């Protein structure tokens, strides 16, 4: 459930998404690219050109909804933004070795 929407620009928003008792932050670029973060700090790091890691990235609202409804334990998967043309996923253990 979206609890708040902040407009950074007319075509870029930050949506605060409450799932159960956990808050997620969705960076919505023109309604064609969505990036999900688990904290404002990690999102701020991304928007300031720092670390480009997020929990999930997709190109459709339908995929975003599926992520929030299908994945009960969102902490076990990490999606890294290495190429915006492709969605690539690794497990956390792959990324921490």
Q: Is 68 exposed, middle or buried (0-12, 13-18, 19+ CB in 10 A)?
A: middle
Q: Residue 20: is its pLDDT beyond 50?
A: yes
What residue numbers bound the domain in which 64 lies? Answer: 2-96
Give the confidence band of 72 by pLDDT, cuts at 50, 70, 90: low
**Residue 49, Ramachandran bin (φ over 0: left; ψ between -120 and 50: alpha; else beta):** left
What's the confidence (pLDDT) of residue 69? 84
Question: How many independent structural domains does the chain possess?
Answer: 1
Look at residue 25 in the predicted model and tell me its pLDDT.
Answer: 93
pLDDT tier at 58, thresholds 50, 70, 90: very high
């Amino acid at each position: 459930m979206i609890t708040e929407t902040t407009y950074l620009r007319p075509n870029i928003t930050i949506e605060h998404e409450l799932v159960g008792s956990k808050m997620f932050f969705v960076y919505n670029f023109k309604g064609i690219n969505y990036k999900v973060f688990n904290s404002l700090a990690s999102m701020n790091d991304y928007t300031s050109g720092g670390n480009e890691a997020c929990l999930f990235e997709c190109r459709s609202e339908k995929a975003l909804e599926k992520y929030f409804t299908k994945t009960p334990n969102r902490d076990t998967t990490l999606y890294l933004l290495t190429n915006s043309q492709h969605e690539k996923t690794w497990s956390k253990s792959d990324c921490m070795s």
